[in-house]
Structure 1
Amino acid sequence: MRSDAAGPHVETRTLWQFLAGDLRPLWTRLLEGAVGAHTARADDRLVYGVVDELRERTSAFLARRYPGLPINEEGVSPWPPQGDCCVVDLVDGTNSLLLGAPLFGLQFASVVGGRVEEAVIFLPTEERLGGGGLHVSRRGQGAIVILRGETAIPLRVSSVEQLARASIAVDGTTPTVGRLYHPPLVAGVTRIRNFGAFCWAGTRLARGHHLPVSIDAVLAIDNKPWDHLPAVGLIEEAGGQVTCFDGAPWSLTRCTELLFSNGHLHAALLTHLADAGLARRET
């Protein structure tokens, strides 16, 4: 997976066929509900039971892809898991979707021995607009984006080395995310963005080298493990770095408040988090 652009492996082609092909009618129903089309209306159960059908079909697919690996789903399963599992977030970015902003995605990761082995993030809107919605990483094999189901393009984080040139994203729950806007940090970077869906922030960081304007770090506070773990695998395999706010390694019991970066900016951002009094939070 670290080679130059090439055709996707069979396993990845199967992923794309399921997520971009088999599930396409469900994505259409969600997107129609998000933009207020006359044939569908978004509510707190999304639209027309889409999530229930999405769960049923995705669970069957994951059972075939990861035989014997139990599913641990956000909002359904307890945390931390009792052993190896497949972490699943069926609709990351639900609130953005319900607001009519179709920045959402389906993401999952196989977790074995406390580490992310395979991570998958699928963004239906990006797939529909540009054909590059499927992001995949495998431990020790790099990270890729699949373009139109035909070409596997290796992903790399950005090479930005100075905070003054950096764009960073923040993500978290409304009561706590404001703490990330530490005044010296806000004044010291080029821009700060909040995508409203961690799957979009994480993939922008992993794709930093390839974008006209990169996201160079993501600060995430008070989220859930299902939000973060797929991006942990993707970003680490794209050459980035992920730690807790105090610089300690992430773990399954410490993965709700994390600093994701391109690596070059990590030390400087840890200093800002410490100055903001965030390094000592229990996560």
Structure 2
Amino acid sequence: MSVQSFGQPSVTPSGASASPFAAHLPRILDIVRESGALVMDHWRKPRAIRFKARADLVTETDLAVEAFLKDRLKDVVAGATFLAEESATSREPRGTCWIIDPIDGTTNFAHALPFVGTSVALWHEGRVELGIVNVPALGECFWAVRGGGAFRDGAPLHVSVSEDLEQALVATGFPYTIEENVDTVMARLRKAMLTTRGVRRCGAAAVDLAFVAAGRFDAFYEADLKPWDTAAGWLLVEEAGGRVTGFDGAPYDFANEGILASNGLVHEAMREVLRL
């Protein structure tokens, strides 16, 4: 299996003390990149798809990548457990825990759309310490270590500097429970479309959050996400200088109705957009 090189990771602290887990980053990045090679090997083959729900798919690739990551990461941090999408029995990380989405954007993968990410985060005692979002079909890998900044393929990331919501490009996503919540989803979407430069939907929350960290989107919001959708991207945005909260402005956690991530400058204006 060939692995694409992205250069040496930077873990230089940016103002705060770098995470004690920073020393593990090079090894973790190697493992995640290898999983990206596995994704791309499957990319070139016919997809075997089954349905968890009408719009909720799982492929053999989801299962293979999750198994690969769990096998390779199990010895990296002593005592760490796993909260991974395809095998999770709860939505609550505890202690030291790997939070993994092997294929974020499974529907995109099934249709050969390149917005497909592998999200790996290390949770420790109530917060994310390290996060990686690898987007192999685009050849991009994003990572962050708490206190050490955020990077794309070794280059530092920073959120955008847009201050005016009318000039902001906003991303969103739709929950699998869309039939139950379509009126609420569409009410928020209508307000976002009328008050911003535009709204985009990539179909992979981890990728959307990485793009906020990279300054490509000025904000991202979505309801009813799971820890494996947001954990790594949450840290990416904050380490890139952005802000992450619930829709109500309260500190984000996995029990929130939804996540609002932004450059910080348009955050309060976006909160008003989301208020119903």
Same-fold status (TM-score > 0.5): yes
1:265 alignment partner in structure 2: 266
Aligned counterparts of 1:226 and 1:24: Cα–Cα separation in 2 = 17
Q: CA 1:11/1:268 → structure 2, altered by over 3 Å: closer, same or farther?
A: same
Q: How far off is 1:82 after superposition?
A: 4.0
Give unmatched runs, 5+ long, in structure 1: 1-5, 34-39, 128-132, 147-151, 209-213, 278-283
Q: CA 1:140/1:94 → structure 2, altered by over 3 Å: closer, same or farther?
A: same
Determine what percentage of the aligned residue pairs are the same residue.
Answer: 27
Q: Which moved more, 1:166-175 or 1:227-236?
A: 166-175
| Equivalent pair of 2:66/2:86 in contact (CA under 8 Å) | no
Task: Determine whether 1:245 maps to 2:228.
Answer: no
| Equivalent pair of 2:47/2:110 in contact (CA under 8 Å) | no
TM-score (norm 1): 0.79
| Equivalent pair of 2:119/2:206 in contact (CA under 8 Å) | yes
2:27 alignment partner in structure 1: 14
Aligned counterparts of 1:19 and 1:222: Cα–Cα separation in 2 = 26
**Which residue of the other structure, out of 195, 200, 203, is the alignment partner of 1:193?**
200
3-state SS of the aligned residue for 2:44? helix
Q: CA 1:270/1:190 → structure 2, altered by over 3 Å: closer, same or farther?
A: same
Task: Determine whether 1:31 maps to 2:72.
Answer: no
User: What pairs up with 1:77-226 in 2 under 5 angstroms?
Assistant: 77=88, 78-127=90-139, 133-146=140-153, 152-173=154-175, 175=178, 176=181, 177-183=185-191, 185-208=192-215, 214-226=216-228
Aligned counterparts of 2:234 and 2:196: Cα–Cα separation in 1 = 23
Aligned counterparts of 1:24 and 1:219: Cα–Cα separation in 2 = 26
Task: Determine whether 1:69 maps to 2:77.
Answer: no
Q: How far off is 1:81 after superposition?
A: 3.0
Q: How far off is 1:42 after superposition?
A: 4.2
**Which AA in structure 2 matches 1:219?**
Y
Aligned counterparts of 1:178 and 1:67: Cα–Cα separation in 2 = 45
Cα distance per residue 1:116-163 (max 9 Å; x no partner) = 110111111121xxxxx21111111111111xxxxx111100000001
> Please, what is the CA RMSD of the aligned residues?
2.1
Cα distance per residue 1:221-249 (max 9 Å; x no partner) = 12212111111011000000000111100
Q: CA 1:264/1:54 → structure 2, altered by over 3 Å: closer, same or farther?
A: same
Q: How far off is 1:75 after superposition?
A: 3.6
Give unmatched runs, 5+ long, in structure 2: 1-6, 11-22, 51-56
2:63 alignment partner in structure 1: 52
| Equivalent pair of 1:180/1:219 in contact (CA under 8 Å) | no
Aligned counterparts of 1:111 and 1:58: Cα–Cα separation in 2 = 16
| Equivalent pair of 1:31/1:102 in contact (CA under 8 Å) | no
Q: How far off is 1:264 after superposition?
A: 0.1
Aligned counterparts of 2:274 and 2:67: Cα–Cα separation in 1 = 41
Aligned counterparts of 2:194 and 2:187: Cα–Cα separation in 1 = 15
Q: How far off is 1:114 after superposition?
A: 1.3
Q: CA 1:15/1:134 → structure 2, altered by over 3 Å: closer, same or farther?
A: farther
| Equivalent pair of 2:93/2:99 in contact (CA under 8 Å) | no
3-state SS of the aligned residue for 1:102? coil
**Which AA in structure 2 matches 1:19?**
V
| Equivalent pair of 2:40/2:137 in contact (CA under 8 Å) | no
1:37 alignment partner in structure 2: none
* Count of residue pairs the alignment pairs up: 245
3-state SS of the aligned residue for 1:186? helix
Aligned counterparts of 2:95 and 2:111: Cα–Cα separation in 1 = 36
3-state SS of the aligned residue for 2:41? helix
Q: CA 1:155/1:12 → structure 2, altered by over 3 Å: closer, same or farther?
A: same
Task: Determine whether 1:230 maps to 2:227.
Answer: no
| Equivalent pair of 1:114/1:251 in contact (CA under 8 Å) | no
Q: How far off is 1:29 after superposition?
A: 3.0
| Equivalent pair of 2:247/2:259 in contact (CA under 8 Å) | yes
Q: How far off is 1:273 after superposition?
A: 1.4
